[in-house]
Amino acid sequence: MKLTRRQALYLMGSVAPALAAPGGVRRAFAQTSSSTPEVTPGKFTATWPSLKAYTIPDWFADAKFGIWSHWGPQSAVGDGDWYARNMYMQGSAQNLYHVQRFGPPSKVGYKDLIPLFTADRWDPEHLMDLYAKAGAKYFFSMGVHHDNFDMWNSKYQKRWNAVNAGPHKDVVGMWAAAARKRGLRFGVSEHLSNSFDWLAPAHGSDTSGPLAGVPYDGSDPAYADLYHDYSSEPADFAKTAKAMGRVAPDSWKMEYFHRIKDLVDSYQPDLLYTDGGIPFEEYGLSCLAELYNVGPVDVRGAAEAIYTSKTKEDCAEGVCALDRERGVAGNIWPVPWQTDTCIGQWHYKVGQVYKTPKKVIDLLVDIVSKNGNLLLNFPLPASGELDPEEMKTLEGITAWMSVNDEGIFYTRPWKINGEGPSMTVKVAQQNFNEGKQPDLGAQDIRFTTKGKTLFAFIQGWPQQPITIESMGTASPQQPEKVTDVRMLGRNEALQFTQDATGLHVSLAGDKPATADLGITLKIRFA
């Protein structure tokens, strides 16, 4: 059961219940102008010893599958990831695209593209119906990307936010309401900590050609609230800053804290994703403490919110959940973790070739078998409407889930995660390794468990009979005696034998419509 912190305190006799505010905002928090981060008082403080007492709640291990809308002004251009940075890098593919379509960046800057982000056909209620039907148990909205544009009615980024510019809508708030109405957990992603360095190219100029030396608009003090103020930085900062460097003054770190605190306090998300490790020491730790102190709690008062970091060391002892960007684990991980990936590029790109439903399902069953979750981005264009090719991928996932989701949700890993030819490929424990994960076929099997039931995902329509070697009585896994085998989507018991060499199962009936994506055997033990 999910409660707000105020509801939990009420049940424990501490305070009177408060009425929920419109748009899903459940509590008001005072702004602070202090020179040090001020966290809402609660169980956690902004220190490592305090945060190590945190444990990942069970709901995250149960959920398994989330969908993300990695969406903002950069998506409106339709030329893929990191556009707001690369458009200022003379000679890059996106710079050349920008010059051809809009003109040179010294005349048409990123600020001038924000009106293209219209969301004129965006229907979060309809999209959330599609995502829930596809099996998503949680949903992520973009909160703020490296481009420094807030997707909510931000108190600290007043000019460049989605209510006052672009679509003139509270994107985060509308996503949150749609998700919560359908019982999905709600998350927000923040990529803000890298923004100070990431936007450095906007402070440069062309180095050759007719506009060489003419400053880009990032150098204009009138737009420092979007591109950042470098007046106190070394003269060469714009040239030396690394995209993900996180080299910033304390004033920026404090602004970072205030904006993420505002995001957390306004929407009290179930999940907060940061693009990298926990940033800026006390400022980043303060964001974690704020999330856990004001976010949802269970009936015992334990924090139910999730913070994800891409740094393994951050999550070694409590604190947060490990996220692997476009990466999978090599084996079963001891605590729940997450892969975040996309069917295409992170920001929408016209003509992009997307992941097939088969590739997504292969990733999902492999990740879940290793104690992980899959967070999958469907990039939206300026209009906010999925394109026809994205719909094909989503519909394929939905069809497979409608038959096989019993083996996904509320499950845990078995003794081993799988067997078959793909198991011989060793994948390093790192981000950006999903491309090294082999495609799975009918000889590749992945396992999950739920009570006295084992689910065996067979990633294609197999030749018969199926032999699962790990279920042999002489196998190292030493499985219990099997009493019943059925295929999800059909009720009839299947014929099987179990001996030293494996569990041998004969399928009945015609090939199911979704069998090329994989089938699932439900195996019961004595």
Q: Which tens digit of pLDDT belongs to each residue from 182-227?
A: 999 999 999 999 999 999 999 999 999 999 999 999 999 999 999 9
Domain shared by 138 and 275, yes or no: yes
The pLDDT confidence band at residue 330, using thresholds 50, 70 and 90, is confident
Domain shared by 294 and 434, yes or no: no
Per-residue pLDDT at 432 exceeds 50: yes
Domain shared by 319 and 445, yes or no: no
Domain shared by 320 and 464, yes or no: no
Which domain-ending residue is among 310, 325, 340?
A: 325
Provide the domain count of the chain: 2
The verdict on residue 330 lying in a domain is no
The CATH number of whichever domain residue 480 belongs to comes to: 2.60.40.1180
pLDDT in tens, 53-99: 999 999 999 999 999 999 999 999 999 999 999 999 999 999 999 99
Domain shared by 281 and 174, yes or no: yes
Chain mean position to CA 38: 27
Residue 300 has φ and ψ, to the nearest 5°, of -90, -5
The CATH number of whichever domain residue 135 belongs to comes to: 3.20.20.80
Contacts of 262 (CB under 8 A, 6+ apart): 31, 154, 155, 156
The verdict on residue 470 lying in a domain is yes
Chain mean position to CA 405: 20
What number is the average pLDDT over the span 248-254? 97
DSSP SS3 for 109: coil
Single-letter residue type at 19: L
Per-residue pLDDT at 27 exceeds 70: no
Residue 178 has φ and ψ, to the nearest 5°, of -65, -40
**Cα-only R_g, the chain:** 25
pLDDT in tens, 352-362: 999 999 999 99
What number is the average pLDDT over the span 119-140? 98
pLDDT in tens, 469-496: 999 999 999 999 999 999 999 989 999 9
Domain shared by 190 and 308, yes or no: yes
Domain shared by 315 and 441, yes or no: no
Domain shared by 309 and 175, yes or no: yes
The verdict on residue 67 lying in a domain is yes
Contacts of 218 (CB under 8 A, 6+ apart): 88, 109, 199, 200, 201, 202, 203, 204, 227, 228, 238
CB 409 within 8 A of CB 362: no
Which domain-ending residue is among 325, 342, 375?
A: 325
The verdict on residue 259 lying in a domain is yes
Domain shared by 426 and 279, yes or no: no
pLDDT mean across residues, the chain: 92
User: Which residue range forms the structural domain that includes residue 508?
Assistant: 418-525
pTM (whole model) above 0.85:
yes
Which domain-ending residue is among 325, 341, 356?
A: 325
